[in-house]
Amino acid sequence: KRRKVKVQYQDRETAIRPDEDSIGSSEDAQIKICPPHPGYFGGLCFRCGKRQDEEDVPGVAFGYVHKGLRLGTTEIDRLRGSDLKNLLREKKLILILDLDHTLINSTKLHDISAAENNLGIQIAASKDDPNGSLFTLEGMQMLTKLRPFVRKFLKEASNMFEMYIYTMGDKAYAIEIAKLLDPRNVYFNSKVISNSDCTQRHQKGLDMVLGAESVAVILDDTEYVWQKHKENLILMERYHYFASSCRQFGFSVKSLSELMQDERGSDGALATILDVLKRIHTIFFDLVGYLSTCFYHKLLSRCLSTAVHKLDSSKH
């Protein structure tokens, strides 16, 4: 039982971030002594096999990685350190992506307006076209519209960033949207974080990300959910495609769907942000070789500030 727990966790950790440094050899594991326990898998310490009890520090649950996985602070720090070395070797940063109003826009079927119904929006969404941008989530009674340029955005961003989805939506919804955005599962793998994973109600936090905060860029349309990480945040222009989205935010205008229009792709919001991310990536890796790891967060903040300032200047 003890060996089975250890092997299961090691397999899963390799899936998170394959690296020769991330998992010690079996001989190393035998030398280390519990407590402290590095973490638990299915209620058992994945090093010594001891069952977790009330006296043990529970750690942080990483259910999105694997159900029943809890990691202690020391193990989390070790994984993040290992991940950081891999990222720098591959010249990548971390990108945290919100879903609603950032990459997509969704609506409940019962919230579809009369004008949208008359235009046959449900019929258009029901067509089984994997290359389309309008989809029906049958089991959830919802329609989802992908933001223009999102597929190219993800493809190009994946060359510069290790990407996570982080949404305040529920798990089932997040997974369904991830399948639409990443049907071949090449961008996100298990890195889909939802509201049930959050450690603080109504707040998103980088404590749920198994990567270093010092190299994490956040793309989200809502600032207040990132109270502890505003320095890492790029505030995204909201995508309002459906009429219900306009109503939700108090806009008494026809929606894009009702106008039978959409954002522009090649020079729209996501294309613009992709250019910002490219600048951040270039500036960071031009300078990172001259600094120790303790200065990475300051460097990233400076990169974000410089790139976003150029974006703001270009709008005027």
Alpha-carbon distance 194 to 169, whole Å? 6
193 closest CA partner among 217, 169, 220: 169
Let me know if 296 is exposed, middle or buried by CB neighbors in 10 A (0-12, 13-18, 19+): buried
DSSP 266-279: TTSHHHHHHHHHHH
Report the pLDDT value the prediction gives residue 287, as an integer from 0 to 100.
Answer: 87
Alpha-carbon distance 239 to 237, whole Å? 7
Domain 93-315 -> CATH class? alpha beta
Contacts (Cβ under 8 Å, ≥6 apart) of 240: 101, 105, 246, 249, 251, 255, 256
Bridge partners (DSSP) of residue 134 are: 145
Report the pLDDT value the prediction gives residue 314, as an integer from 0 to 100.
Answer: 55
279 closest CA partner among 255, 241, 311, 252: 311
Q: Are 144 and 135 in contact (CB under 8 A)?
A: yes
Report the pLDDT value the prediction gives residue 12, as an integer from 0 to 100.
Answer: 44
Report the SS3 class of residue 194.
Answer: coil
Report the pLDDT value the prediction gives residue 279, as an integer from 0 to 100.
Answer: 92
Report the pLDDT value the prediction gives residue 21, as an integer from 0 to 100.
Answer: 47
Alpha-carbon distance 33 to 46, whole Å? 12
Over residues 157-186, the pLDDT tens digits come to: 999 999 999 999 999 999 999 999 999 999
Question: Which parts of the chain have pLDDT scores under 70?
Answer: 1-32, 54-58, 309-316
CA 30 to chain centre: 35
Alpha-carbon distance 195 to 74, whole Å? 25
Report the pLDDT value the prediction gives residue 57, as an integer from 0 to 100.
Answer: 57
Q: Where are the domains of the chain?
A: 2-86, 93-315
pTM comes to 0.86
DSSP 197: G
Q: Are 36 and 74 in contact (CB under 8 A)?
A: yes
Over residues 101-158, the pLDDT tens digits come to: 999 999 999 999 999 999 999 888 887 787 889 999 988 999 999 999 999 999 999 9
